[in-house]
Amino acid sequence: MSTSVSKGQGKAVVLTTGMGTQFGRIANLAQAIRDETSPLHKEIERTAKYDFVLAVVVGGIFFAASLLWLHLDFVTSILFMIGVMISLVPEGLQVTVSSALAINVLKMVKENVLVKRLSAVQTLGSVTVICTDKTGTITKGEMTVEKLWVKDQTVEVSGIGYMPEGDFTINGELLKESESAQIEKLLEISALCNSAKIELPPTGARPGMLSETQLMAR
């Protein structure tokens, strides 16, 4: 798993499979990690415990009062106690929390911040450092040469991705034909010492893609 063979011959001996491999162990470690409870969740759990205790105490007080002072029967007192306890439960808490988080998401969208999960907004109050990874969102996986070093010369290469456009310049000036001998030799060596190539899609080349001949010349 996750082993690439570029060329040659060999014999593979399978020792373990599945979760017994090194990648399987890494996957097992990743699955064993649990998300830490957010500060908002902790506050909600604490509030729920306090509310439960308060509901039980108040319900017990009203139950005793209905029996001793109001002289209600036992079943009516139980129903009265249950009604008091239910009235102390904040039924609108979930709606209020969800609405507050949704409002925060809308505010972040106005600041060009994309939130994939609503629960991610809960931890923003404790955030001090934000680490971002742009791989796969901004980059396209097209590695481009920007500079070439030949002896005492530094040649700058312009162009983006696979677009067949660009120039070779030295200190902002186009490379002259008399100065290109060493660069041409370097490009020739680079093209011959590797097997890199661009395979066009079956439906045809997409705009801006170079052929193998153009790539070698580039």
Name the residues annotated as catalytic.
133
Whole-number Å distance between alpha carbons of 22 and 28 = 10
Token duo for residue 177: 């034909």
Could you count the other beta carbons within 10 Å of the beta carbon of residue 66? Answer: 20
If DSSP codes are grouped into helix, strand and coil, which group holds residue 149? strand
Could you count the other beta carbons within 10 Å of the beta carbon of residue 81? Answer: 22
Give the chain's count of helices (H) and strands (E).
6, 4
Whole-number Å distance between alpha carbons of 196 and 4 = 16
